[in-house]
Chains A and B, each alone.
Chain A
């Protein structure tokens, strides 16, 4: 999962003694990455459920906050890629806002091409890097 995924704090309204849903591998909330097509920032249908689940979690836990980090593949200008990654993060943010999360709970930022998760120079790496990650407070 996203970098620093083990750093999540308990007690963010996750509900008593149950396992933190953000870290429960059987819970969709443990999934934190949304992948995008080349040169696209449209959320694909297979990630709708994931994004809506996080939006609902934010709606139900008004103290919870997330950092959305957009990423791109390595091809092209660094600053333009930073802007493309920002669009991906903002796509996820907008979907979350439409589903009940509040603006102050979400910061959308971009890492552009600067923090690739996969570093080979091939299509599979580029696919892996066209991504937005959802990080809860304490995880970054």
Chain B
């Protein structure tokens, strides 16, 4: 790095550019802790003419990959290939890179940008994959996430989730905002803002709507809001409290917790607000339902056994309504969420005086604690099951955090202002997966 004066200044300029962009996007800064044992060494060369773009692509790609804990970024300074024939593989082998990302950008006369990228196998000296497309300037981050998805999928065999979105509640002063952001915390925008609390956001399976609980009527009421039109409807506004919305996997119904018949009990209601049906009957508290991916059962928190614990119940078939207790360690296990493959669930376990994220496998029935912070809440799986998003508390305010589902890598996505609560990872959309963004 020291030996290359010109490229070094280029690199510094690059860094400067990304710092300058941070406040414009109300950035959530990412800090990473720990890391997996075997990381894939990858070198990412800034794309040609990238410095002229309003948004760097390769810095976003690099941050996405690093956050997973599955990659180690290799020094790319001083080497600037943009086309396969410009790559001197021996140089990259010497630097320990096993994969290399190169590419180019061209600003077209109409202002759109042509982006080309290639992923090269350094040892085999071949191209693994590549991709080209033309996008408007405000889609550069989206293109970068898509490139990161392709790299991640090619090198790990897992589904990439960088192009997905997250939602969370941000409290700032006396204002509550339900916000949606890119999976890296950038591009945050408010869906609604109120001076009364908002809790329990939940994505519809197609990503087009959010259900949440608002206290604007001096009591909790469940709303469903369409993101594109901002149209909202109170779908559960019965006598008493209405809360804890959870979408069925087909998006047709929600499980909600109502107190209209006394006590906090789980009901099913159609997404439009009709067809109310009581799901189960207990004398205690039943709340925080989460649907299994096949829609056949729910897991939920109940204190029917004397302390809040997690139970599973079939909602169809012979055993419908019969609850089976799943957690036995400790006196406080709450906020369960099914993993996308339905084989495990994440939850919050009170661990002495701390509240931590734990996972349990349905087959092994063993609790695995993933965090050791003071106060964690609302675990939510990434749609590929590899990460769990949650909120933790530092200095009296909530911070977005994520932990790999094996507990190996933790990342913190911190905003400069505000108190972030109850993050939920949005679904993987078909358009994101197939990803033909060309033109």
Question: What is A's interface to B at a CB cutoff of 8 Å?
Answer: 67, 69, 75-80, 82-84, 86-87, 90, 107-112, 114-115, 121, 135, 140
Contacting A86 at CB < 8 Å: which of B240, B332, B377?
Answer: B240
Is the C-beta of B348 less than 8 angstroms from some C-beta in chain A?
A: yes
Is B199 a contact of A76 with CB atoms below 8 Å? Answer: no
**What is the CB-to-nearest-CB distance from B263 to chain A, in angstroms, rounded to a whole number?**
7
Is A114 a contact of B199 with CB atoms below 8 Å? Answer: yes
Top-3 shortest CB links A-B: A109-B219, A83-B264, A114-B197
Chain A residues contacting B149 (CB-CB under 8 Å) are: none
Among A77, A87, A109, A140: residue with most chain B CB under 10 A:
A77
Q: Complex Cα distance A90/B239, Å? A: 12
Is A80 a contact of B219 with CB atoms below 8 Å? Answer: no
Say yes or no: A77-B259 contact (C-beta < 8 A), given A87-B285, A107-B239, A109-B220. Answer: no
Is B259 a contact of A114 with CB atoms below 8 Å? Answer: no
Chain A residue at minimal CB-CB distance from B300: A79
Number of interface residues of B (CB under 8 A): 33
Is A140 a contact of B301 with CB atoms below 8 Å? Answer: no
Is the C-beta of B241 less than 8 angstroms from some C-beta in chain A?
A: yes
Is B335 a contact of A77 with CB atoms below 8 Å? Answer: yes
Chain B residues contacting A76 (CB-CB under 8 Å) are: 332, 334, 350, 355
Q: Complex Cα distance A109/B396, Å? A: 27
Chain B residues contacting A115 (CB-CB under 8 Å) are: 197, 215
Question: What is B's interface to A at a CB cutoff of 8 Å?
Answer: 197, 199-200, 215, 218-220, 239-241, 243-244, 257, 259, 262-264, 285, 287-288, 301, 308, 332, 334-335, 348, 350, 355, 377-378, 396, 421-422
Contacting A79 at CB < 8 Å: which of B197, B239, B244?
Answer: B244
Interface of A is mostly: mixed
Q: Complex Cα distance A112/B377, Å? A: 15
Q: Complex Cα distance A84/B303, Å? A: 10
Contacting A109 at CB < 8 Å: which of B240, B288, B334, B335?
Answer: B240
**What is the CB-to-nearest-CB distance from A4 to chain B, in angstroms, rounded to a whole number?**
9
Chain A residue at minimal CB-CB distance from B243: A82
Is A77 a contact of B240 with CB atoms below 8 Å? Answer: no
Q: Complex Cα distance A12/B308, Å? A: 42
Chain A residues contacting B262 (CB-CB under 8 Å) are: 90
Q: Complex Cα distance A107/B301, Å? A: 24
Chain A residue at minimal CB-CB distance from B286: A83
Chain B residues contacting A135 (CB-CB under 8 Å) are: 218
Is A79 a contact of B240 with CB atoms below 8 Å? Answer: no
Is B199 a contact of A78 with CB atoms below 8 Å? Answer: yes
Chain A residues contacting B263 (CB-CB under 8 Å) are: 86-87, 90
Chain A residue at minimal CB-CB distance from B221: A109
Q: Complex Cα distance A91/B287, Å? A: 19
Q: Complex Cα distance A121/B334, Å? A: 22
Chain B residues contacting A112 (CB-CB under 8 Å) are: 199, 220
Is A82 a contact of B220 with CB atoms below 8 Å? Answer: yes
Is B218 a contact of A80 with CB atoms below 8 Å? Answer: no
